[in-house]
């Protein structure tokens, strides 16, 4: 059996090397302040912060969240302090850890994405950008950027021009063919794709006959969506050669390993953080234990190792 200390866990995202594949998902870890007392950031592969826009945003009115079976809906409405305040007030705190910082970027126009990317690239302590393309495209009547391959190509290319940081394009699952979108991102120069963002959903209070979310619809996350996320990672893995970061309902090390097996090089832990602030650490430890008992010396050997021919006798 391999010794857990000898196991290679490094993951490359463009020019950035993460020491291991475990990071929180954007929007479930704030700007990294609150969880510093729970999690030793020095051990994480990276920290991914809440989505940032050019100007501060107030977000949606409450109620913003509701529990559903095996998950939750959220419609935070991209509340954030804006990219400038982030750099000034939040980044210095994160810079003290031996851990990559990935900034999640949000825009309502291609120009806003570009601008935010540019500003973040000039800031010391940001190591990669994650472009959230599940946002309503104001110019195109609120249809999400991430549902059209050409728009994705356009945004990705423009953001790449604006930065020399590795660019991760975060894909929306609310599409017919997510692999097609991923290929678009790759063609336009994305260093990696991350998926999935939330699935749009709804929940109704039958007494008042109103939505349980003030915004009417919200994004579904949590273990309920894990099967969909896994399938999408699998579909994308068959079509792209850049690294994939798997996201969606990861609650346990076993869940994370499933994502690695279908082709994710790294994973993000989202909603699980809201239930257990130690989730990222627990999952990292569990992945290492799995590698150990499975005699896998380098995590790369696990990535994409799904056997598609299934012997009947298990």
Partner 1 sequence: MMTVCKAVAAGNVASNRELIDGHFLMNVKLPLSLERPLPGQFLMVRIRGRREPFLGRPLSVYEFQRHVKNVTCEFLYRVVGKGTQFLSQLRLGDAVDVLGPLGRPFEIYPPNRKIVLIAGGMGIVPMTYLAGHYRSSGAGRNMKIICYAGAQNADALVGIERMQTCSDTRISTDDGSRGYSGLVTDLFARDLRTYDPRETAIFACGPRPMMKQLAVMLKDKSFPCQVSVEERMACGVGVCLGCVTAVKDDWGKRQYKRVCKEGPVFNIQDLIWD
Q: Which residues are catalytic?
A: 135
Two structure tokens written together for 106: 């949000």
In the shown chain, the binding pattern of residues 240 to 279 toward ligand FMN, with x for contact by CB under 6 A and - for none, equals -------xxxx------------------xxxx-------
Query: Which span (154-162, 176-184, 274-282, 285-293) binds partner 1, by CB under 8 A?
Result: 274-282
Distance of CA 192 to the CA centre of its chain: 11
**The one among 13, 23, 25, 303 contacting ligand FMN by CB under 6 A:** 25
The first and second tokens of residue 297, run together, are 């010396």
Query: Given the complex with ligand FMN, which of 32 and 249 has the nearer CB atom?
Result: 249
- Asked if residue 236 lies in contact with residue 193, where contact means CB atoms within 8 angstroms, the answer is yes
Q: Please, which residues have CB within 8 angstroms of residue 202's CB and are 6 or more apart in sequence? A: 73, 211, 213, 216, 217, 218
Query: Quick count: other Cβ atoms within 10 Å of Cβ 59?
Result: 14
Residues 236-255 that bind its own copies (CB under 8 A): 249, 254
Query: β-strands 65-68, 192-195: how paired?
Result: unpaired
Binding residues for ligand FMN restricted to 273-312, rule: CB under 6 A:
none
Q: Closest CB to partner 1 among 48 and 190?
A: 48
Say if residues 271 and 72 touch (Cβ distance below 8 Å). yes
Span near partner 1 by CB under 8 A; candidates 72-80, 148-156, 164-172, 225-233: 72-80
Question: Do the Cβ atoms of 158 and 110 come closer than 8 Å?
Answer: yes
The rounded Cα 81 to chain-centroid distance in angstroms is 20
91 by DSSP, 3-state: which?
helix
Region binding its own copies by CB under 8 A among candidate stretches 6-14, 32-40, 156-164, 169-177: 169-177
Question: Does 275 participate in binding partner 1 (rule CB under 8 A)?
Answer: yes
Distance, CA of 83 to CA of 100 (rounded, Å): 18
Instruction: Name the residue nearer to its own copies (CB basis): 53 or 172.
Output: 172
Q: Which of 3, 37, 176, 241 binds its own copies (CB under 8 A)?
A: 176
Contact map string, positions 172 to 201, toward partner 1, x by CB under 8 A = ------------------------------
Output the six-digit token pair for 273.
């953080």
How many chain residues bind its own copies (CB under 8 A)?
Answer: 52
- Asked if 50 is part of the footprint of ligand FMN (rule: CB under 6 A), the reply reads yes
Q: Is 150 exposed, middle or buried (0-12, 13-18, 19+ CB in 10 A)?
A: exposed
Residue 150 touches which of its own copies, partner 1, ligand FMN, none (CB < 5 to 8 A by kind)? none
* Closer Cβ to ligand FMN, 38 or 297, answer by number: 38
CB 157 within 8 A of CB 133: no
Tell me which of partner 1, ligand FMN, its own copies, none is bound by residue 208, counting a contact when its beta carbon lies within the kind-specific cut-off of 5 to 8 angstroms. its own copies
Task: Point out which residues pair with 131 in neighbouring strands.
Answer: 105, 169
Q: Is 63 in the site for partner 1 (CB under 8 A)?
A: yes
Distances (CA, A) of 251 to 137, 226, 267: 31, 9, 11
Q: Which is nearer to partner 1, 27 or 149 (CB)?
A: 27
Among 53, 74, 184, 211, binds ligand FMN (CB under 6 A): 74
Q: Parallel, antiparallel, or unpaired for β 167-170 and 192-195?
A: parallel
Kindly state the smallest distance separating residue 164's Cβ from its own copies, in Å: 32
198: partner contacted, choices ligand FMN, partner 1, its own copies, none (Cβ within 5-8 A by kind): ligand FMN
């Amino acid at each position: 059996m391999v010794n857990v200390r000898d196991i290679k866990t490094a993951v490359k995202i463009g020019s950035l090397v993460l020491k291991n594949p475990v990071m929180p998902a954007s929007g479930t870890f704030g700007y990294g302040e609150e969880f510093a007392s729970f999690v030793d950031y020095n051990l994480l592969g990276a920290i991914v912060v809440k989505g940032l826009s050019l100007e501060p945003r107030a977000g949606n009115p409450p109620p913003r969240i509701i529990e559903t079976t095996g998950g939750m809906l959220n419609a935070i409405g991209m509340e954030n302090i804006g990219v400038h305040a982030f750099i000034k007030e939040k980044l210095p705190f994160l810079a003290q850890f031996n851990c990559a910082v990935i900034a999640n970027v949000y825009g309502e126009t291609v120009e806003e994405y570009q601008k935010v990317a540019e500003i973040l690239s000039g800031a010391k302590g940001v190591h990669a950008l994650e472009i959230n393309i599940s946002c309503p495209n104001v110019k195109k009547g609120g249809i999400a950027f991430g549902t059209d391959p050409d728009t994705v190509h356009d945004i990705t290319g423009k953001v790449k021009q604006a930065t020399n940081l590795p660019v991760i394009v975060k894909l929306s699952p609310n599409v017919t063919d997510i692999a097609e979108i991923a290929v678009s991102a790759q063609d336009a120069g994305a260093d990696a794709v991350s998926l999935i963002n939330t699935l749009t959903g709804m929940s109704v209070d039958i007494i008042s006959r109103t939505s349980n979310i003030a915004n009417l619809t919200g994004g579904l996350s949590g273990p309920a969506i894990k099967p969909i996320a896994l399938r999408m990672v699998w579909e994308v893995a068959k079509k792209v050669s850049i690294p994939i970061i798997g996201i969606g309902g990861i609650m346990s090390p076993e869940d994370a390993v499933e994502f690695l097996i279908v082709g994710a090089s790294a994973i993000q832990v989202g909603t699980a953080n809201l239930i257990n602030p130690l989730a990222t650490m627990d999952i990292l430890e569990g992945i290492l234990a799995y590698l150990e008992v499975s005699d896998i010396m380098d995590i790369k050997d696990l990535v994409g190792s799904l056997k598609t021919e299934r012997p009947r006798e298990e």
